[in-house]
Amino acid sequence: MCRVEDLQRAVLAKNDRGAEALRTELAARGTVIVNLLSSPGSGKTALLEAELTLARRRGVPVAAITADLATENDATRLARSGVPVKQVLTDGLCHLEADMLRSHVEGWLPDDTRLLFVENVGNLVCPASYDLGESLRVALASVTEGEDKPLKYPSAFGLAQLVIVTKTDIAEAVEFDEAAFLGNVRQVNPGVEVIRTSARTGEGTGGLLERAMAVQAGAAVHRPVMARQAVAHGHSHSHSH
Amino acid sequence: MHEMSIAMAVVGQVEEAAGPGGVRAVESVRLQVGELAGVVPDALRFCFELVCAGTVLDGAELSFDPVPGRARCEPCAREWDTGMPPHLCCPECDGAAAELVSGRELRITEVRWAPEPQPESQPEPQPQPAVDRE
């Protein structure tokens, strides 16, 4: 007899368990993870460098991990801020997973770190599926990418707890339709806060740091519709094949 | 291409369910994939075949049960198909209080283990083949 087993297992359960463990462990020592997602070239590194520099000036202990398929260029840029920075090379993998992050955090992250910023691999598809143990997930889009980015990558924007628009200094030149963009964000993630930034002019600099500090201090974060499951997981299905 | 990671996770979960010394082959694996789960079934099938090679799942068939995205606004008692890209504002009140009813599933629902090898000495020879596929 061919035996059929009703498994009912979440495919990403292992990652989710790892993420939860990391979140709990870091929370116990007062550290909060901020996970940054965006396309390649949307300005994650420039924004992050500005925020890290500001944090250092304000005396907030922060650190950053930046993930790329190759090169240590981003770590070199972020290190100019003067805070602890680590480059993770994923060797071709398109996203970070919780256990990978943990292995890089262990033995490296200073004990007094309040915020650990994780610059995920530049990719809006795969990283969206992997919880890294963050307490704040941020999706970024630059004004050059088109107003429909949130619709094209609904998981990345739909699961974000904060959305950041970058490169606003050139918004006019590229005819960025901000109202259309905001409408599209709202369609996939009603209620999420959107902040405007420009690493060049300094517009919005500090916004990310302030939001992250609030989360670290225990403020409530936005719960995206896509992250609210009305029915508990693990409900039983009766299949007849 | 996180389908490769997902395929590896599926294979890992099934191997775990097979248990230690679980050398039985796997005939098929059934997955529930939500419309909003961000997984491309064809890409996953391709990766699954690659990842299965040399494991207890070698040659196993992968099938999908798609789950539509559904959302519900509790205050309005309104439920709707989210579509893709999803509409997650309530069509009734335009509010942001909705919850997903379904659509983010990514679960292994069922595994079919290949038939156990028959014991060497059968008390009586079976007239029918012992393999019962359905």
Q: Is B56 helix (H, G, I), strand (E, B) or coil?
A: coil
State whether residue A85 is helix, strand or coil: strand
Q: Which residue has the higher pLDDT, B132 or B113?
A: B113
In angstroms, rounded to a whole number, what is the distance separating the alpha carbons of residues B44 and A83? 40
Hey, is the C-beta of A228 within 8 angstroms of any chain B C-beta?
A: yes
pLDDT band at A123 (very low <50, low <70, confident <90, very high): very high
Cβ–Cβ below 8 Å for B110 and A5? yes
- Specify the pTM: 0.90
Percent of chain B's residues with pLDDT above 70: 84
Residue A240 has pLDDT above 70, yes or no: no
The pLDDT mean for chain B works out to 88
Tens digits of per-residue pLDDT, A23-54? 999 999 999 999 999 999 999 999 999 999 99
In this prediction, residue A227 carries a pLDDT of 95
Determine the distance in angstroms separating the CA of A5 from the nearest CA of chain B, rounded to an integer: 5
- pLDDT mean over A70-97: 94
User: Which of A10, A14, A150 is facing B12, going by the closest CB pair?
Assistant: A14
How far is A121 from A100, CA to CA, in rounded Å?
13
pLDDT at A147: 97
Question: Which among B2, B30, B99 is the nearest to A228, CB-wise?
Answer: B99
Give the three-class secondary structure for B21.
coil
What residues form DSSP beta bridges with A6? B110
Summarised one tens digit per residue, pLDDT across range A7-22 is 899 999 999 999 999 9
Q: What is the pLDDT of residue A226?
A: 95
Section A97-122 average pLDDT: 97
Q: Chain A 152-191, CB below 8 Å of chain B: which residues?
A: 152, 154-155, 158, 186-191
**Per-residue model confidence as pLDDT tens digits over A151-192:** 999 999 999 999 999 999 999 999 999 999 999 999 999 999
Interface contact B115-A1, CB threshold 8 A: yes
- Beta strands B106-113 and B26-34, pairing class: antiparallel
- pLDDT given for residue A61 in this prediction: 98
Residue B121: pLDDT band by 50, 70, 90 thresholds? low
Amino acid at B64: F
Confidence of residue B133 (pLDDT cuts 50, 70, 90): very low
* Contact across the interface for B89 and A7, Cβ inside 8 Å: no
Give the burial string for A85-114 (b: 16+ CB within 10 Å, else e). bbbbebeebbbbbbbbbbebbeeebeeebb
Does B38 sit within 8 Å of A155, measured CB to CB?
yes
**Per-residue confidence at A229, pLDDT binned at 50, 70, 90?**
confident
In this structure, is the dihedral angle defined by the CA atoms of residues B14, B19, B20 and B24, taken in order, positive or negative?
negative
Instruction: Pull the structure tokens for residue A177.
Output: 């339709």
Q: Which residue has the tokens 């901020």?
A: A34
Tokens standing for residue B122: 């059968």
ω into B85 cis (within 30 of 0): yes
pLDDT digits (tens, 9 = 90+) for B7-56: 999 999 999 988 876 667 999 999 999 999 999 999 999 999 999 999 99
Q: Is residue A127 pLDDT above 60, yes or no?
A: yes
Instruction: Please report the pLDDT score of residue A233 as a whole number.
Output: 43
Distance CA A171, CA A86 (A): 32
Mean pLDDT value across residues A113-129: 95
Residues A136-156: tens digit of each pLDDT: 999 999 999 999 999 999 999
Q: For residue B130, what are its two tokens?
A: 């012992």
Helix, strand, coil percentages for chain B (3-state, nearest 5): 20, 25, 50
- pLDDT score of A235 more than 50: no
